Structure 1
Amino acid sequence: MAIFHFSLSSTAMFVLFLIFIAFLGYCLYVKYTHMKYDHIPGPPRDNFLLGHSPTFLRIMKKGDLVHDKFLEWAETYGPAYRIHVLHYVLVFVTCPEATKEILMSPKYPKDKFLCNSLFNLFGQRFLGTGLVTARDHDHWYKQRRIMDPAFSSLYLRGLMGTFNERAEKLMIKLTDVADNKTETSMLKLVNFVTLDVIAKVAFGVDLDQQKNKSLFPKAIETCLKGMVYSIRDTFFQFNPKNRPFIREVRDACRLLRTTGAQWIHDRKVAIQNGDDVPKDILTQIIKTAGKEESMTTEDEEVMLDNFVTFFIAGQETTANQLAFCIMELGRHPDILEKVKKEVDDVIGMKQEISYDDLGQLVYLSQVLKETLRIYATAPGTSRDVLEDIVIDGIHIPGGFTCAFMSYVTGRMEKFFKDPLKFDPDRFHPDAPKPYYCYFPFALGPRSCLGQNFAQMEAKVVMAKLLQRFDFTLVPGQTFDLQDTGTLRPKSGVMCSVRHRKS
């Protein structure tokens, strides 16, 4: 028995010794990365191993915005500064030349850490290897090429009827609000309409969120919140207090993917039966898989990856842009009157807004662009840089991640005079175009496929709203931002709404 006890103790001690050696080796590797990149300016680390991660967690716990810290550091440390989290090195770049070089080239892959974090959330598959998270260029290009027809200008013209129809449902709801003289959250209402639009236009499904309260908005919000914690808090899932929330995130992911599987199945059956089906995103997703000689389980999962990607991306950021736009117009009556006059001149009393009408709403376009400058709802993007590179005169060894934050560059005085002033004339057709410092939809080959779709939808909704209603912000609310992966107005943009007088 004593011999057995001695043997067991020796085994345990040997295992502990191996763990210690592995930990020591990891610490040496972290020290090596510090030495390799510490010539780059940057804030002091909070912790040898955790790097700057504790700063992010303190900001999140206070309900503040981590992107404001990135802005502060950019103004303090210059156009290229580094931060550390464990052995990962991120270089935040505001240099337009480097932004152009890296984002416009296909040779810099998407950020491996981020894509792996979005592949699944706490063990439940989330975005997988869909269009946004595919790192392999050939895999991404194949998906993008097949999706392109669903976003062509010809196809988008054909969506005007649906954009009008869904926006009308919002107008009916706003009529009730105005008649009853109640206050309402504009963020909540525009969330409903953008979810209706993406469900109908992309997947051929009638949700009618204004009448039927579905679980989707909550599921999307939960997934995005889980995404933020999984990326910024290395040990989040190991804290027992977080288990109930982690279960919620997994359930939300399953809801979205189960729904997608059912909608895909129904469309496949319609195609097999020879029914007329729209050339929408859902049909394109099925066509992507149809290019394969035989369907594998992974092919089926990639179809669901793209379903979840488009379902979330097509709803969340557009709703937030609309809410921020309403918020800023409510704060600037002079701009509100100017954009109303343009809508009156172009649209008049028409109920159906045409594709050609959108092209004449020039000032409204400027308002929407200026909204995204100050409130980049998708605040940034990142790329892995595997080879040595020189950024703003600093030689940086390969093997790091480059982060580009449109939120940060959009709020810097060096790029935009008086950056916190809401001034749509910055985007006047004759004004100089921002040089690689304004990219709310990213840039280059991996830029957002749905940006024209999103801006058409935003224009239709805003034009109808401005045509028919006056709105004022409810006093006392904050204008703070909430970080849920995307940025949204924390207050919900509470408004009093009333009918416009003819």
Structure 2
Amino acid sequence: MSKGDNIHDTFLEWFERSNRPFNERAEKLMTTLHDVADNMTEASMLHLMNSFTLDVIAKVAFGVDLDLQKDTSLFPNAIETCLKGMVCIARDIFFEYKLKNRPFVKKVREACRLLRTTGAKWINDRKTAMQNGDDVPKDILTQIIKSAGTEESMTKEDEELMLDNFVTFFIAGKKQLLINWLSASWNSGPPYILEKVKKEVDDVVGMKQEISYDDLGQLVYLSKVLKETLRMYSTAPSTSRDLPKDIVIDGIHVPGGVSCILSSYAAGRMEKFFKDPLTFDPDRFHPDAPKPYYCYYPFALGPRSCLGQSFAQMEAKVVMAKLLQRFDFPLVPGQTFDILDTGTLKPKSGVVCSVRHRDQNK
């Protein structure tokens, strides 16, 4: 068996283990949207999708039921506050020392404390279950605990590292706003794009509630739409890399020891790399089209690329297939594609949609 086969088998095992929580959480979201459609009201896809994303991360990665579709806990707000704090510090190294910022700095510290306290509780509960010989899931939380060492050799630093990893994974998961941009993007391109992807979902998925790994593999056009959405609306607008030695980039000498900020948002909208870059065209990612190497990196590139990129894309495909299977969700008039940058690129208007059952329009 080749290395590629091993990777495929490992990924397939991971997806099969995650598939049920993906589908279960997506079905809860569909129930919420079903009620919205029955009442012929509007819904903020930004709010619903953010809650859905955190629900999935909590269940798949940590084995915990948050059920944020019903319960608006402090947890999502804490993550949002930490993200804002991270951006403020990154853009102004003196931010926390300025008197006018002290109230916000206090809020960020309280939010971090809430996340770390929650993480400590979940970790301790899982460690207790492992010590008792209980059957525990092979998820991110189990891996975090195993990577920190044995109980006898565990130091305070090991415990802090576990909490760091816990918070990092949740913060990274919150940055997954792809589904919101997908919801908005249907309205930015020609109508045939939406009709084509609907037909593909109808042909591949039909009326099935359980979407399988094989189903996702056949959703070829939906994958192209997803990639084009990431090109125009990369959820993390930039990444950074430290240069270990001097390098010349496009004739410009850059000394070693500095950090370079690479903008995936800017690269994805440059005429140099993409013809008519402001046109939403999924066929840029047709298998026969030229591959946009090193200018398309919504999840970064190389060994430091986003570990959750497969998770994010599978999650997006499952929920979007279910949405397209059952609902129409045109944007409410007055919605814009304006972008709010808070360390991630969010739709400023909240992607407010009129949710309707598909059969209502027939």
Q: Which runs of structure 2 are paired with 1:31-430 in the superposition (5 Å)?
A: 152-290=11-149, 294-314=153-173, 316-318=174-176, 320-332=177-189, 333-430=191-288
Closer, same or farther: CA 412–198 of 1 in aligned 2, 3 Å: same
Deviations 1:12-31 (A, max 9, x none): xxxxxxxxxxxxxxxxxxxx
What displacement does 1:213 show?
1.2
> Residue 299 of structure 2 aligns to a residue in which SS?
coil
Partner of residue 486, structure 1? 344
- Structure 1 SS opposite 2:240: strand
Distance across 1 between alignment mates of 2:296 and 2:180: 20
> Is the partner of 1:341 in helix, strand or coil?
helix
Matches within 5 A, 1:418-457: 418-457=276-315
- In structure 1, what is the Cα distance between the partners aligned to 2:218 and 2:151? 43
What code does the residue aligned with 2:342 have?
Answer: T
In the aligned structure 2, how far is the partner of 1:287 from the partner of 1:437? 37
Q: Distance in 2 between matches of 1:375 and 1:228?
A: 18
Residue by residue, what CA displacement relative to the aligned partner does 1:348-394 show, whole Å, maximum 9, x if unpaired?
01111111000000000011111110011011211121322222233
Which stretch shows the higher mean deviation, 387-396 or 190-199? 387-396
Contact 1:364–1:459 at 8 Å: present in 2 too? yes
> Which of 341, 355, 359 is the equivalent residue of 1:497?
355
Letter matched to residue 207 of structure 1: L
- Alpha-carbon shift at residue 400 of structure 1 (Å): 1.8
Q: Hey, what's the Cα distance between the residues in 2 that align with 1:155 and 1:238? A: 45
TM-superposed CA distance for 1:182, in Å, is: 1.0
Letter in 1 for 2:69: Q
Calculate the TM-score normalised by the size of structure 2: 0.94
Identify which range, 421-430 or 387-396, moves more after superposition. Answer: 387-396
Q: Give the gaps of 5 or more residues in structure 2.
A: 1-6
* SS at structure 2 position matched to 1:260: helix
- Distance (Å, rounded) in 2 between the aligned partners of 1:396 and 1:225: 30
* Counterpart position of 1:104: none
Cα distance in 1, alignment partners of residues 272 and 63 from structure 2 = 45
Could you tell me whether the CA contact under 8 Å between 1:346 and 1:357 is conserved in 2?
Answer: yes
1:96 alignment partner in structure 2: none
Aligned to 1:462: 320
Q: Give me the whole-angstrom Cα distance separating, in 2, the residues matched to 1:398 and 1:163.
A: 44
Which letter maps to 1:329? Answer: W
Question: Across the two proteins, how many residue pairs are aligned to each other?
Answer: 352
Tell me the equivalent position of 1:101.
Answer: none
Q: Compared with structure 1, are the counterparts of its residues 158 and 195 closer, same or farther at alpha carbon in structure 2 (3 Å cutoff)?
A: same
SS at match of 2:208: coil
Question: What is the SS of the residue equivalent to 1:159?
Answer: helix
Structure 1's 366 and 259: CA in aligned 2 closer, same or farther, altered over 3 A? same
Whole-Å separation in 2 of the counterparts to 1:399 and 1:235: 22
The secondary structure found in structure 2 opposite 1:290 is coil
User: Compared with structure 1, are the counterparts of its residues 448 and 291 closer, same or farther at alpha carbon in structure 2 (3 Å cutoff)?
Assistant: farther
Q: Percent identity?
A: 74
In the alignment, which residue of structure 2 is the partner of 1:70?
none
Letter in 1 for 2:183: I
The offset of 1:216, in angstroms, is: 1.4
- Aligned partners of 2:252 and 2:92: how far apart in 1? 30
Q: Distance in 2 between matches of 1:397 and 1:260?
A: 40
Q: What SS does the aligned partner of 2:148 have?
A: helix
8 Å contact kept, 2:145–2:162? yes
**Are the equivalent residues in 2 in contact too, given 1:226–1:246 (CA < 8 A)?**
yes
CA-CA distance at 1:159 after TM superposition: 1.1
Q: Normalization by structure 1: what TM-score?
A: 0.68
The secondary structure found in structure 2 opposite 1:277 is coil
1:416-462 CA distances to partner (integer Å, 9 max, x unpaired)? 01111111111111111102100111111111111111111110000
Counterpart residue type for residue 472 of structure 1 = P
Cα offset, 1:291, TM superposition:
5.7
Provide the alpha-carbon RMSD of the alignment: 1.6
Cα distance per residue 1:119-142 (max 9 Å; x no partner): xxxxxxxxxxxxxxxxxxxxxxxx
1:292 shift after superposition:
8.2
1:160-184 Cα shifts (integer Å, max 9, x gaps): 1110000000000001110111111
Shift in Å, 1:293: 6.3
The residue identity in structure 1 corresponding to 2:78 is: A
